[in-house]
DNA sequence: AACTGTGGCTTGCTTG
DNA sequence: CAAGCAAGCCACAGTT
């Protein structure tokens, strides 16, 4: 880690090292006298109550200290004091400090009525007491590209604008009325979440610290002219500290088979495990069966603390976690934290409601920040882009196995049956894994959420709980504010007009997507795959795609048509969305991707830049998707279609050009071309010409030693020049395929991997035949365990939502509920076995004997899975059919 | 009334 | 986000 002192470019800090700055006298004086409390506000002990610039000092929560070095991580609104407060991480004291607004900033929204009209409006009159001001303001109307005058309605509290049934936004048309107040505050004040700040005096506004650029970054900043890009480089290259944090996990003494419910917390908490970044490893236990003997108290892996009651346990846990600014849980939003609070309330623990704050779907802690890893890992962008689908089900066990290579301690006994010692171990490992998920790979997860906070300019709490479309929305709102643009209503964007030009290929879709080239079936050697480097984001950048620039109001732009449509694109103004994609794309490609691969840098730094470029990639990849999603506030169908139309144009133009040059295109999908055995010179020329013509860069993505194509699109496999194997779309790869068949599939692939020429295929055929004949024998002889035959299918809706058809997994799930009383929710993976009964399938749990299995179905499934690779290799499965004796054996089992 | 074949449709999973 | 695949459901028509 580089030392902070060396790169904080603050004069005062350099003269006197940061850590030694003395506490300002003013602050000391103030902290001794508690700040005045508003009459309406109730005061409880230990509850931080804000006033001007500082808070009451309590455990784990310090007041803002002038001269300190802070990172802005979060914010919230305090309704009692009617102020926004910011949560800063103090990097020296390793605490969260709260800073309450000192500017008198108030909530507001905009109306297009003039102030006079509004003053006479009955709804405004009704709320007159709570309205502070109606002020005329100039804003830029992005859709019509003109300056307009709007009225800023400034109010006393955010609920006047929105959040209740009687709020103003429910009564009259308002603009910018659904932005969270604390987010508004951050935008208006120009705060950068994840940025460094200091405070000059207790009641001043936090001032950005000018951070000295690391030497490797300097080179880039000097080279780049665009101030916008420079700003991005600076923000994203600032160091992220190893946050002091603690993982928490509780155990509830519930009867066998009954899950503890937050709504009805009737069973006691008897154990809590803690794992801190400072090395704390502790399990606190209320030994309700009195079985832990003094001599057993020692444990190699963690410290055991025995308490006499549940009340003592909760108090002790709260005492410890308050020492940590960041609390990590796995499912703490919906379980651990609300459960602790509710049990605490039942036991009459004072002030627990001030420490754990429950939202509708989340739980926050007053002295710091709570990160629920379950919510984070569930996030589809985190799952697919950041962790490339390394885990599929989101549970502590599966995520830890995938990312840490180790899982939970298995426990097949109930708490009643297990010894305390066993439960201790089990419980501790949960906290340990939870902590390690934030620490592995150089604190990747903590760095990732901070980096995303910076890009979205969104609080860490929100980043961990909201989806990518919210991250992007947040950043775009901020960009509107920076440009003084009024944010249009979704219906205004939709009302711009413009039309759809091509019917979607798939029924029920809103607009056309990409082109997939008809594959040439066969085995092809030496295939070069060229593709457009991030095609859709590049199109968005290069062709100025944004909701306001597609079908813009300028007459002279109407000539600038998207090929094959009447849609035109603005040539006068840069689109906001286009600008944002362009900037983060450039920053990623020109700076952070290079730094992440710079072998001259120490591994720690490279890992850091890897997180930066990876976070940027998450945003870049999602930009096209959100503009085509109706739920996105800047959704505009003609803009989404313009992107795909330009993509179609790029790929068709490239195919034509390639064929003109005598290059053989055998397949392609969306942004790629598979070129068979190309002449290197011609390939190079071709790529250059395309880039010149389309302003889109083509690159060689990979080279296959050989690739096997069938007549199916999105279905192929290939062996790369380095021996690696690519399997795309084939049945054998699908998560629903039974393990037994999957294994056979991969065994066959393993054989194909070594092949270099046509001749070698014939030898491989023999081996493959053996494998298949054996597999079928095993199946028919009933030698395959049921587990290996299970077909795993996700239940994606609640059971009652399947009204049109009843698929097999839904039938099975209903049976599970009826017969075993197992609760199934959306997201549950149902494992079914194909059976010979009327339904044709049953849940794995209810199949008792191998004799119920419909062997023929499995042979069929094996056949269709393997056929996808074998038909091209000219291996005829029918010829491999097993001798009559096995068929008769099968018959024997049937009767 | 029971069976068979067909095609449209639903569902889930993958590719880019 | 759309394109595309496999598998099964289900209504319907035609046959037995």
Q: How far is CA A504 from CA A69, A495, A566, A644, in A?
A: 54, 22, 17, 11
d(CA A104, CA A461): 24
- pLDDT of amino acid A459: 98
> What number of helices (H) and strands (E) belong to chain A?
31, 28
A471: closest CA among A453, A486, A448? A453
Three-state secondary structure string covering A31-64? HHCCCCCCCCCCCCCCCCCCCCCCCCCECCEECC
Residue A324: φ, ψ to 5°: -115, 130
- Give the nucleotide with minimal C1' distance to the Cα of A669: B16
- pLDDT of amino acid A877: 55
CA of A450 to C1' of B16 (A): 28
Element (H, E) at A150: strand A146-155
Please give residues of chain A from 533 to 552 whose alpha-adjacent beta carbon (CB) lies under 7 Å from any atom of strand B.
Answer: 535
Mapping DSSP to helix (H, G, I), strand (E, B) and coil, where does residue A496 land? coil
Q: Where are the alpha helices (DSSP H) in A395-509?
A: 396-404, 420-456, 460-465, 468-482, 490-494
Provide the 10 A C-beta neighbour count for residue A115. Answer: 16
Please give residues of chain A from 492 to 511 whose alpha-adjacent beta carbon (CB) lies under 7 Å from any atom of strand B.
Answer: 507-508
Is residue A523 a contact partner of residue A704, using CB atoms and an 8 Å limit?
A: no
Q: How far is CA A313 from CA A306, A368, A591, in A?
A: 9, 21, 50
Mapping DSSP to helix (H, G, I), strand (E, B) and coil, where does residue A755 land? coil
Which structure tokens are listed for A636? 């505009």
d(CA A183, CA A556): 38
DSSP E strands in A308-360: the ranges are: 326-329, 356-358
CA of A158 to C1' of C12 (A): 59
Q: Within 7 Å: CB of A838 and strand B?
A: no
CA of A729 to C1' of B13 (A): 9
Which structure tokens are listed for A620? 């870049």
**Using one digit for the tens of pLDDT, what is the confidence trace for A485-520?**
999 999 999 999 888 889 999 988 999 999 999 999
**Using one digit for the tens of pLDDT, what is the confidence trace for A133-151?**
999 999 999 999 999 999 9
Which structure tokens are listed for A220? 């880039």
Is residue A322 a contact partner of residue A302, using CB atoms and an 8 Å limit?
A: no
CA of A836 to C1' of B4 (A): 19
Q: Within 7 Å: CB of A205 and strand B?
A: no
- Give the nucleotide with minimal C1' distance to the Cα of A531: B16
DSSP assignment, residue A836?
Answer: S
Q: Where are the alpha helices (DSSP H) in A192-309?
A: 215-223, 227-237
Is residue A535 a contact partner of residue A650, using CB atoms and an 8 Å limit?
A: yes
Strand C, nucleotides < 7 Å from a protein CB: these are 1-10
DSSP assignment, residue A213?
Answer: P
CA of A864 to C1' of C6 (A): 10
- Give the nucleotide with minimal C1' distance to the Cα of A734: B13
Q: Which residue is nearest to nucleotide C7 (CA to C1')?
A: A807
Please identify every stretch of chain A with a pLDDT value under 50, giving residue numbers as ranges: 1-62, 880-895
Q: Where are the alpha helices (DSSP H) in A121-269?
A: 122-126, 158-161, 181-189, 215-223, 227-237
Provide the 10 A C-beta neighbour count for residue A675. Answer: 25
- Give the nucleotide with minimal C1' distance to the Cα of A513: C2
Q: Within 7 Å: CB of A800 and strand B?
A: no
- pLDDT of amino acid A357: 95
Strand B, nucleotides < 7 Å from a protein CB: these are 9-16
Q: Which residue is nearest to nucleotide B13 (CA to C1')?
A: A734
Please give residues of chain A from 806 to 825 whose alpha-adjacent beta carbon (CB) lies under 7 Å from any atom of strand B.
Answer: 807, 809-810
**Using one digit for the tens of pLDDT, what is the confidence trace for A234-288?**
999 999 999 999 999 999 999 998 889 999 999 999 999 999 999 999 999 998 8
Q: Within 7 Å: CB of A792 and strand B?
A: yes
Q: What is the edge-to-edge ordering of all strands in the sheet holding A369-372?
A: A303-307, A281-286, A269-276, A245-252, A326-329, A369-372
Q: Within 7 Å: CB of A522 and strand B?
A: no
CA of A54 to C1' of C9 (A): 65
Footprint of strand C, using CB within 7 A? A 504-506, 509-516, 624-625, 628-630, 640, 644, 712-715, 729, 731, 804-808, 811, 834, 839-841, 857, 861, 864-865, 868
CA of A730 to C1' of C5 (A): 9
Three-state secondary structure string covering A609-672? HHHHHHHHHHHHHHHHHHHCCCCCCCCCHHHHHHHHHHHHHHHHHHHHHHHHCCCEEEEEECCE
For residue A712, how far is the Cα from the chain centroid?
32
CA of A794 to C1' of B14 (A): 14
A248: closest CA among A438, A497, A447? A438
- Give the nucleotide with minimal C1' distance to the Cα of A469: C1
Bridge partners (DSSP) listed for residue A550: A569
How many residues make up chain A in this entry?
895
Q: What DSSP string runs through A103-134?
A: S----EEEESS-HHHHHT-HHHHHTGGGEEEE
CA of A449 to C1' of B16 (A): 26
Q: Which residue is nearest to nucleotide B11 (CA to C1')?
A: A807
Tokens 């599970």 identify what position? A816
- pLDDT of amino acid A384: 86
Q: How far is CA A629 from CA A279, A362, A469, A554, in A?
A: 45, 26, 9, 26
- pLDDT of amino acid A879: 54
Is residue A885 a contact partner of residue A865, using CB atoms and an 8 Å limit?
A: no
Which structure tokens are listed for A37? 């409390």
Half-sphere exposure of residue A45, counting CA atoms within 13 Å on the CB side?
A: 5
Q: Within 7 Å: CB of A579 and strand B?
A: no
CA of A203 to C1' of C10 (A): 71
Q: Within 7 Å: CB of A727 and strand B?
A: yes
Is residue A133 a contact partner of residue A509, using CB atoms and an 8 Å limit?
A: no
- Give the nucleotide with minimal C1' distance to the Cα of A735: B13
Q: Which residue is nearest to nucleotide B14 (CA to C1')?
A: A729
């Amino acid at each position: 880690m580089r030392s902070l002192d060396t790169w904080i470019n603050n004069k005062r800090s350099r003269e006197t090292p940061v850590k030694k700055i003395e506490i300002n006298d003013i602050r000391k004086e103030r902290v001794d006298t508690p700040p005045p409390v508003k009459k309406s506000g109730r005061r409880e002990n230990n509850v931080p109550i804000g006033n001007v610039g500082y808070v009451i000092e309590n455990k784990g929560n310090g007041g803002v200290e002038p001269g300190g070095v802070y990172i802005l991580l979060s914010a919230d609104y305090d309704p009692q004091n009617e102020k926004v407060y910011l949560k800063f991480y103090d990097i020296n004291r390793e605490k969260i400090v709260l800073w309450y607004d000192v500017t008198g900033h108030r909530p507001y929204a905009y109306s297009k009525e003039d102030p006079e009209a509004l003053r006479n409006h009955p709804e405004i009159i009704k709320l007159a007491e709570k309205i502070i001001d109606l002020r005329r303001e100039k804003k830029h109307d992005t859709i019509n590209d003109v300056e307009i005058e709007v009225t800023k309605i400034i109010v006393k509290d955010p609920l006047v604008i929105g959040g209740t049934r009687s709020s103003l936004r429910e009564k009259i048309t308002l603009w910018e009325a659904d932005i969270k107040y604390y987010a508004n505050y951050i935008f208006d004040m120009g705060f950068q979440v994840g940025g460094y700040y200091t405070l000059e005096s207790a009641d001043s506004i936090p001032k950005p610290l000018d951070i000295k650029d690391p030497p490797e970054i300097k080179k880039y900043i000097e080279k780049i002219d665009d101030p916008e890009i420079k700003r991005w480089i600076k923000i994203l290259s600032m160091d992220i500290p190893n946050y002091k944090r603690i993982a928490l996990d509780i155990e509830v003494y519930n009867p066998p088979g009954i899950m503890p419910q937050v709504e009805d917390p009737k069973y006691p908490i008897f154990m809590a495990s803690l794992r801190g970044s400072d090395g704390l490893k502790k399990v606190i236990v209320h030994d309700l069966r009195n079985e832990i003997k003094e001599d057993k108290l020692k444990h190699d892996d963690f410290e055991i603390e025995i308490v006499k009651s549940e009340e003592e346990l909760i108090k002790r846990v709260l005492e410890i976690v308050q020492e940590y600014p960041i609390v990590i849980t796995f499912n703490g939003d919906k379980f651990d934290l609300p459960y602790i609070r509710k049990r605490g309330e039942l036991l009459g623990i004072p002030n627990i409601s001030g420490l754990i704050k429950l939202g509708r779907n989340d739980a926050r802690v007053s002295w710091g920040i709570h990160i629920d890893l379950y919510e984070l890992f569930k996030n589809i962008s985190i799952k697919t882009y950041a962790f490339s689908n390394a885990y599929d089900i989101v549970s502590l066990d599966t995520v830890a196995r995938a990312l840490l290579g180790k899982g939970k301690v298995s426990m097949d006994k109930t708490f009643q049956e297990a010894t305390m010692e066993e439960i201790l171990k089990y419980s501790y490992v949960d906290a340990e894994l939870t902590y390690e998920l934030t620490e592995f790979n150089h604190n990747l997860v903590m760095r990732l959420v901070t980096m995303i906070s910076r890009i979205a300019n969104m609080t860490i709490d929100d980043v961990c709980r909201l989806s990518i479309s919210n991250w992007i929305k947040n950043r775009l709102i901020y960009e509107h504010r920076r440009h003084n643009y009024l944010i249009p209503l979704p219906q205004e964007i939709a009302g711009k007009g413009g039309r759809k030009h091509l019917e979607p290929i798939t029924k029920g879709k809103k607009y056309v997507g990409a082109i997939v080239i008809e594959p040439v079936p066969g085995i092809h050697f030496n295939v070069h795959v060229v593709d457009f480097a991030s095609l859709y984001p590049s199109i968005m950048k290069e062709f100025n795609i944004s909701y306001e620039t597609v079908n813009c109001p300028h007459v002279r732009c109407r000539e600038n048509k998207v090929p094959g449509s009447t849609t035109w694109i603005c040539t006068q103004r840069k689109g906001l969305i286009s600008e944002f994609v362009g900037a983060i794309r450039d920053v990623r490609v020109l700076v952070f991707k290079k730094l992440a691969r710079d072998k001259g840098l120490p591994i720690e730094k490279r890992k850091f830049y890897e997180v930066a470029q990876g976070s940027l990639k998450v945003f870049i990849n999602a930009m096209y998707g959100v503009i085509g999603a109706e739920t996105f506030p800047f959704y505009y169908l003609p803009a989404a279609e313009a992107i795909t139309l330009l993509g179609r144009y790029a790929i068709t133009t490239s195919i034509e050009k390639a064929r003109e040059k005598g290059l053989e295109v055998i397949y392609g999908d969306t942004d790629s071309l598979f070129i068979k055995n190309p002449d290197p010179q011609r390939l190079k020329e071709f790529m250059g010409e395309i880039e010149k013509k389309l302003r889109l860069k083509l690159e060689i993505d990979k080279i296959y030693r050989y690739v096997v194509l069938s007549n199916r699109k999105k279905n192929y496999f290939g062996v790369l020049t380095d021996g690696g194997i690519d399997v795309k779309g084939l049945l054998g790869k699908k998560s629903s395929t039974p393990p037994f068949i999957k294994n056979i599939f991969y065994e066959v692939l393993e054989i194909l991997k070594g092949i270099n020429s046509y001749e070698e295929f014939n030898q491989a055929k023999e081996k493959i035949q053996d494998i298949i004949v054996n597999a079928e024998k095993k199946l028919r002889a009933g030698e395959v365990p049921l587990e290996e035959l299970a077909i795993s299918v996700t239940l994606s809706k609640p059971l009652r939502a399947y009204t049109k058809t009843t698929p097999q997994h839904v039938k099975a799930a209903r049976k599970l509920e009826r017969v075993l009383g197992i609760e199934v929710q959306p997201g549950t993976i149902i494992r079914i076995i194909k059976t010979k009964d009327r339904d044709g399938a049953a849940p794995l749990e209810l199949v008792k004997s191998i004799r119920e299995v419909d062997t023929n179905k499995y042979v069929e499934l094996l056949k269709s899975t393997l056929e996808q690779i074998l038909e091209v290799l000219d291996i005829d499965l029918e010829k491999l059919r097993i001798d009559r004796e096995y068929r008769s054996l099968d018959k024997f089992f049937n009767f």
